[in-house]
């Protein structure tokens, strides 16, 4: 079985795939100070509740946009699962080109979304990811990644609004029953929700004008189902698209050989800590 670890700016998701289906996925808040032992207590307990054990895991892959979290995640795989994990980076075989000015600047989450979406649906397409940032990733008809756009995420904008305006409360994200808010809370929720729907529709429209062919539009991220209720823009809604990208990337690449005996700790080199 394959353990997939998607470490984002807000949450880290652990998921197990048995070669046919996902057997479970679990989410924890991102904290780059959390140790490998803390991960083990939490993750292995949840894996056991799914009817599995750590011994069922033969491979692992980690994708992260938080470099400081990598050390303890990799140490967890080595010390508690006796596995040398794949790390989603430029050294792996991705199977599609990046037609951008600075490939090294493309976040691994964006590359994984592009890989999963073009494998599942074919290009041309646009992936809209409702994460810490709201990202728009473009894949052309030949399957090449062509760049996109990055906007502030929904929760980030919500927190900035609360922090910058003393009299505005902190609210949750939700679809309002009406566009005209008759209270401050409802007015904020309307502005946030319909503002983001309008932004997404507008950016996708502008991107489409620059593409060859009519793209399919894919929504992903935890808030994708909520925002898909307010527009008919999306052809597919796949909340866990990044996990699927990690699974596909693992299938394209061989696992590295363990550099220590099972259960034996080893030191990290400077190059490993910087990857």
Residues 68-77: tens digit of each pLDDT: 999 999 999 9
Query: Is 31 labelled a binding residue?
Result: no
Query: Is 108 labelled a binding residue?
Result: yes
* Residue 42, pLDDT above cutoff 80: yes
Query: Per mean pLDDT, which range of 9-13, 152-156, 264-268 is the poorest?
Result: 264-268
Q: Residue 259: what pLDDT?
A: 53
Query: Is 6 labelled a binding residue?
Result: yes
120-171 pLDDT per residue, tens: 999 899 999 998 889 999 999 999 999 999 998 888 777 777 677 767 777 7
- Rounded mean pLDDT, 245-271: 67
* Residue 188, pLDDT above cutoff 90: no
Q: Which two tokens stand for residue 173?
A: 């994200």
| Residues forming a β-bridge with 219 | 128, 237
Specify the pairing of strand 125-130 against strand 11-17.
Answer: unpaired
Query: Is 175 labelled a binding residue?
Result: no
| pTM score of the predicted model | 0.84
Query: Is 9 labelled a binding residue?
Result: yes
- Rounded mean pLDDT, 96-122: 93
Q: Residue 166: what pLDDT?
A: 63
Q: Residue 151: what pLDDT?
A: 93
- 270 counts as catalytic: no
- pLDDT grade, residue 252 (50/70/90)? very high
Strand ordering across the sheet containing 125-130? 145-152, 133-139, 125-130, 216-220, 236-237
Please report, to the nearest 10 degrees, the dihedral formed by the alpha carbons of residues 62, 65, 66, 72 taken in order.
Answer: 0
* Residue 213, pLDDT above cutoff 60: yes
Q: Helices marked H in 127-179 — which ranges?
A: 154-164
Distances (CA, A) of 7 to 12, 58, 191, 215: 4, 20, 30, 28
- pLDDT grade, residue 263 (50/70/90)? very low
In which residue are the tokens 């940032």 written? 133
d(CA 99, CA 210): 14
Query: Per mean pLDDT, which range of 5-14, 17-26, 106-115, 150-159 is the poorest?
Result: 150-159
Catalytic residue (one of 109, 137, 140, 270): 109
- Rounded mean pLDDT, 33-54: 91
* Residue 248, pLDDT above cutoff 80: yes
Query: Is 267 labelled a binding residue?
Result: no
Average pLDDT over all residues of the chain: 88
Q: Residue 131: what pLDDT?
A: 86
Q: Helices marked H in 58-148 — which ranges?
A: 67-81, 108-121
Query: Is 18 labelled a binding residue?
Result: no
Q: Residue 171: what pLDDT?
A: 76
């Amino acid at each position: 079985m394959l353990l997939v670890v998607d470490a984002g700016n807000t949450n880290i998701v652990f998921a197990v795939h048995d070669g046919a289906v996902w057997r479970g996925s679990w989410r924890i808040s991102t904290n780059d100070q959390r140790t490998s032992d803390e991960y083990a207590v939490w993750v292995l307990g949840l894996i056991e509740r799914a009817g599995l054990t750590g011994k069922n895991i033969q491979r692992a892959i980690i994708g992260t946009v938080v470099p400081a979290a990598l050390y303890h995640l990799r140490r967890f795989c080595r010390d508690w699962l006796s596995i040398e994990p794949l790390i989603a980076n430029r050294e792996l075989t991705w199977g599609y080109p990046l037609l951008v000015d600075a490939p090294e600047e493309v976040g691994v989450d964006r590359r994984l979304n592009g890989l999963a979406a073009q494998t599942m649906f074919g290009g041309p397409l646009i992936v809209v990811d409702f994460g810490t940032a709201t990202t728009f990733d473009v894949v052309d008809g030949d399957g090449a990644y062509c760049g996109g756009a990055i906007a502030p995420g929904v929760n980030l904008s919500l927190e900035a609004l609360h922090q910058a305006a003393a009299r505005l409360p902190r609210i949750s994200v939700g679809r309002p029953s009406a566009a005209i808010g008759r209270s401050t809370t409802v007015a904020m929720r309307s502005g946030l929700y319909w503002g983001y729907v309008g932004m997404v529709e507008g950016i996708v429209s502008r991107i489409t004008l620059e593409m060859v062919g009519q793209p399919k539009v894919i929504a992903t991220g935890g808030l994708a189902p909520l925002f898909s209720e307010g527009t008919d823009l999306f052809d597919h809604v796949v909340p866990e698209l990044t996990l699927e990208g990690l699974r596909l990337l693992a299938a394209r690449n061989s696992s590295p050989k363990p550099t220590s005996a099972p259960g034996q700790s080893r030191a990290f080199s400077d190059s490993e800590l910087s990857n």
